[in-house]
Amino acid sequence: MITLYDFPLSGHAHRVRLMLSLLNLEYERVHVKLDQSEHLKEPFTQLNPFQQVPVLSDDDFIVRDSVAILCYLAGKYGPEWYPQNPESIARIQEWLAIATKEIALGPASARLVTVFGANLNHQHVIEESHKLLYRINDHLSDRQWLALDKVCIADVAAYTYIAHAPEGDVSLEMYPNVISWLSRIEVLPGFVAMDKTLTETA
């Protein structure tokens, strides 16, 4: 039995929900109430001492960190999403690193300011977001997917915070290749969007 501990507005959690749905996996979803500090208390801290969502439990095997969860799910349930030849691994890992650094410090941080009220320099993270989106738009000028010639976990890892960049006041209008890439993900069988109603009322 797969159990996902998440928070509806978390982009990290959404990328895991997206992966689970793309793999057509059944799971139980446990809402960790971050607004009530449940992530700072037991029993959640026994699952993740780092006090962050998401956490995935698969028959009591615990995986923390959204990118690690994507790797685990693809490796166990959908190896076509994470090919294991050295070249594919290298290309995918490049983009997983971008998801945990440049995307986290750009579009994700901009959204943290507007959706969660984070005390960050909003203008700076908006500027960093546009630097990143310019590079991604250029990268996608002659290809459909980020890492490989087919969709893979790199695209899933990058999708949520880029798709929701406008919530952080980061416009995507100047990046047609990025918009096309987002659209390709959104028509994949099993795609699930983040709940916009929750976002609008945060």
Q: For residues 72 and 56, is the Cβ–Cβ distance under 8 A?
A: yes
Please tell me the distance from the alpha carbon of residue 186 to that of residue 50, in angstroms, as a whole number: 31
CATH number of the domain at 83-186, out of 3.10.580.10, 1.20.1050.10, 1.10.10.10, 3.40.309.10?
1.20.1050.10
- CATH number attached to the domain at 2-80: 3.40.30.10
Read off the DSSP letter of residue 188. Answer: S
What does the pLDDT read at residue 202? 38
The closest alpha carbon to 29, from 10, 1, 3, 8, belongs to 3
Angle between helices 11-22 and 153-163 (to 10 degrees): 140
SS3 category, 61 = strand
What does the pLDDT read at residue 196? 63
pLDDT tens readout for residues 20-70: 999 999 999 999 987 777 887 788 788 888 889 999 999 989 999 999 999
Please tell me the distance from the alpha carbon of residue 65 to that of residue 137, in angstroms, as a whole number: 27
Low-confidence ranges of the chain (pLDDT < 50): 197-202
Give 13's contacts (C-beta < 8 A, 6+ positions apart).
4, 6, 7, 53, 54, 66
What does the pLDDT read at residue 200? 41
**Domain residue limits, the chain:** 2-80, 83-186
What does the pLDDT read at residue 199? 43
Taking phi over 0 as left and psi of -120 to 50 as alpha, with beta for the rest, 24 belongs to left
What does the pLDDT read at residue 34? 79
Q: For residues 176 and 119, is the Cβ–Cβ distance under 8 A?
A: no
pTM confidence score: 0.94
